[in-house]
Amino acid sequence: MSYCLNPTCPNPENLAHSQKCQSCGSQLLLNDRYQVIKPLGQGGFGATFLACDQALPGEPSCVIKQLRPSTTAPQVLQMARELFEREAKTLGRIGNHPQIPRLLDYFEDGHHFYLIQEYISGATLQQEIKRNGNLSEAGVKQFLSEILPLLQYIHERKVIHRDIKPANLIRRTQDARMVLIDFGAVKNQVTQAITNQSEHTALTAYAIGTPGFAPPEQMAMRPVYASDIYALGVTCIYLLTGKSPKDLAYSPTTGEMMWEQLVQVSDHLKSVLRKMLEVSVRNRYQSADDVLRGLEMEPYLESLAQGLLIKSDLAVKEQAHYHRDDSGILCNNPSASFTSSGVAQVAAAIRARRAKAAEGAGLHTARMQPGSLTAKQATLGSSNSNGSQSQNSQVARKLDTQSLLTSYLKGRRDFALHNLSMLNLQGADLSETNFHSAQLRKTNFQGANLRNSDFGKANLAYANLRDANFSKAYLNNADLEGADLRGADFSYAYLSNANLRGANLCGANLTGAKISEEQLALAKTNWLTVRPNGKRGLL
């Protein structure tokens, strides 16, 4: 079906290959490339539609957001244009994060404004709760472990979302990751409100968010970063109770939501939610970083750690993940741009716990903060003639195929520095896993799912990667010499500085991949190879 975008069309449904609308005569192919299939939703300022992009191979699905000014009055058009340009610039700045839909195109056509975004297939949190029932405390904590690093990423780029709610959070079908949508209510280039009431953040005259989810200062047109924290807290109450804010009671004296008697959770989580939902912004958590610190809990550290394995965007991935200190020990790079210091603190706790467990088993791999020593090193270390302490050499830990797969199924996602050479992992699902600096020489990954995984500085020489899914994988400085990459999906993968000498890329998909012509000149390609620009042919 082709759907007409004319807001006044009496019968917008048309046959699939129609060129013009049978009812109003409007052109059906938007911008000579986008065929609209059906409407997805409608709001006060416009509507969204599911479409396909006929200009790209395979005609991939996309979402068209149409901004419809109510009149053509100059002041209304100017306001709409400012809203449109603001959202486009914001999405362009933050849209490379794997949990935010990418901006594909934007343009103005006949007093209507169009944003073209990546289509996210999946159910909203609102739909999940209605279908499956309320979440448990563990489920809410897991949800927060996914969303808080994303929220910190957004705030670090000086953006307030202002409309966080279950209907704007989609669990993506292909990887079950939570995706935040609808940045039409964003406020960008903001500064935190200060206590002097004569100075506030800049006001915005439209799109202030959803009543009940938005806190008082946002409804008063003075949103701050902590406004998103409040909305996230209200979302957690919805997940625990299935009740929207309009169905809950509020204190007539304080204006606070009365939710505590409706939930069965620990006192610890109650205290965290209570602070997220403070009506007074100065008493509320000020950042996602602060909430993460408040949520520090041993049973969920692994879940938080897994979220850390996938960096926020390609800009972050361009930085080295690790560096060697003066003694040659591999450590976290202090210059790397993590999403928040609070997340880094949680990661440090995880590393300390793992190091302690590994040391007890005699398998310590020396992954620690610069300058720190294990008890074993402190006992064995001695000063040399230069006065410096000797360090134990780093030894990569060897795992067999069954141990690796079992660990992954139990939730482990970190295999950095491990020796996994020559393992048979054909067809395995190992998506979103950290293989940084791992030894994977001649390993069989044929048909495996390695989407969003980190292979920075890994040795994949002569590995079998045929038909494997490396979409959005990070392979900076990886050694792929002589590897079989035929038919592999490297769409939007980061391959800068990877060694491709003698690698076989015949039929591989490199759409959107970060890779140079010099690298590709060293590899074997054919007419089935999809180039980074999406076109097929020899490179």
Catalytic residue among 32, 105, 109, 163: 163
H/E run at residue 382: none
What the block records as the tokens of 518 is 């010099």
Name the β-bridge partners of 323: 331
Rounded to whole angstroms, how far apart are CA atoms 90 and 84? 10
| Cβ atoms 204, 187 nearer than 8 A | yes
Alpha helices in 95-205 (DSSP H): 125-132, 137-156
At 172 the three-state DSSP class reads: strand
**Angstrom distance (rounded) from CA 456 to CA 317:** 9
Catalytic (active site) residue 290: no
Q: How far apart are CA 80 and CA 210, in angstroms?
A: 19
CA 41 to chain centre: 24
Structure tokens at 167: 């209907």
State residue 50 phi and psi, 5-degree precision. Answer: -85, 135
Residue with tokens 């690790």: 322
Q: Which of 396, 448, 409 is nearest to 425 (CA)?
A: 448
SS (H, E, C) 261-310: HHCCCCHHHHHHHHHHCCCCHHHCCCCHHHHHHHCCCHHHHHHHHHHHHC
398: number of CA atoms within 13 Å, CB side?
5
Residue 116: in which H helix or E strand, if any? strand 112-118
Residues 432, 413 contacting (CB under 8 angstroms): yes
Reference 322, options 151, 215, 437; nearest CA is 437
Kindly tell me the sign of the dihedral angle through the C-alpha atoms of 412, 415, 418, 422.
positive
Distance (Å, whole) CA 55 – CA 60: 9
| Catalytic sites, residue numbers | 163
